[in-house]
Amino acid sequence: MQAAIGPEDDLPTLVRARDDLGALRYIRAHKLRQPVLVLNHGKRLLGLSDEGRNIASGSRKVTDSERLSALEQLCVASLDLGKTTLAESCLDSILEAGVAKDSARYRKLLAMCCESSGDYDGATAIYDKLLEENPSNGYAAKRKYCILAAQSDKQEEAANAMNEYLSNNSGDVSAWNEMAELCLNASDFQGAAYCYEEVVLGCPLDSTVHMRLGEAYCTAGGLENTKLARKHLAQACQLEPNNLRAWYGLVSAAESYLDEVSQLGKSKREDEGDGVEVARALIEYAGSKLIQSYRKSSSMSKIVEIVLRESAENNTL
């Protein structure tokens, strides 16, 4: 029996050693999406052709459970690469290996094959049945959403499906990020900001997430939203000083804040006195960073200077 994979056995080493079983184990254990590697190592390990026919005895002897796991990996990888014939052959082999047709393990792969062939109704019917049997089946709920999202005329249903999934899986950061994109596509910037707030909880040190959250708040508008936009865009710049989009966003958010303040009554404008000074300082500081970033391009640097000068003139309260 092969020893357990140690910390020194990384994927490149296993690939170079042509350790087909080890490579598949590594990809499975680390939940990597490497369809080309899985295809190459899986076919060689199982002795299969591109059509799924047995053409050799395989690169090494494997247990029944390892063979079944390899077939499942190979089936999914084949679908990723559009090799439906090989995927269907793997599905048949899985049945021959003793997996029951009514098992969740088999039906999940069958539904994926239906998706690949464009049979969305058939795939949805399988996922609905899986969810009926187990409402907490997150995989089936996600796949239902993906089917709807792939159809341009069913975006509202896709949003509802994602809402339903998040109601049972509120800790799924990737799902919140996907929901934020749906909100942006629907021009629901306040909703997008709410979703990105959930993403920030899971990725507090991700500059891009803070940037997108700041942009959503800034686009939503309003005094409080522009303050929040300024905060998150400043955080994005601090986390990744080379994020030019965040620096531009910070200038824009500060300008939007000043625009909002200019529309307030005199007493309320006075209450925002400190915030106004901060906004002006941020515009000046972010502008200097942008000019510095374009120091090798004198024309671009001059354009940034002109824009910032006009901004300062337009935001004199």
Q: Where are the domains of the chain?
A: 1-99, 115-169
Per-residue pLDDT of 59-96, as tens digits, reads 678 888 999 999 999 999 999 999 999 999 999 999 99
φ and ψ of 124, to 5 deg? -65, -40
> How many angstroms separate the CA atoms of 53 and 61, rounded?
18
User: Degrees (nearest 5) of the Cα angle 69, 55, 84?
Assistant: 55
* Nearest alpha carbon to residue 86 among 121, 53, 128, 126: 53
User: Degrees (nearest 5) of the Cα angle 275, 279, 282?
Assistant: 135
Per-residue pLDDT of 93-139, as tens digits, reads 999 988 999 999 999 999 999 999 989 999 999 999 999 999 889 99
> How many angstroms separate the CA atoms of 95 and 3, rounded?
29
Query: What residues in the chain have per-residue pLDDT under 50?
Result: 1-7
> How many angstroms separate the CA atoms of 127 and 228, rounded?
40
User: Degrees (nearest 5) of the Cα angle 202, 204, 208?
Assistant: 100
21, two tokens: 């079983």
- Tell the residue number behind the tokens 């007493």, with chain if given: 267
CA distances for 311 relative to 1, 35, 56, 252, 304, angstroms: 70, 50, 71, 9, 10
* Nearest alpha carbon to residue 246 among 286, 279, 277, 217: 286
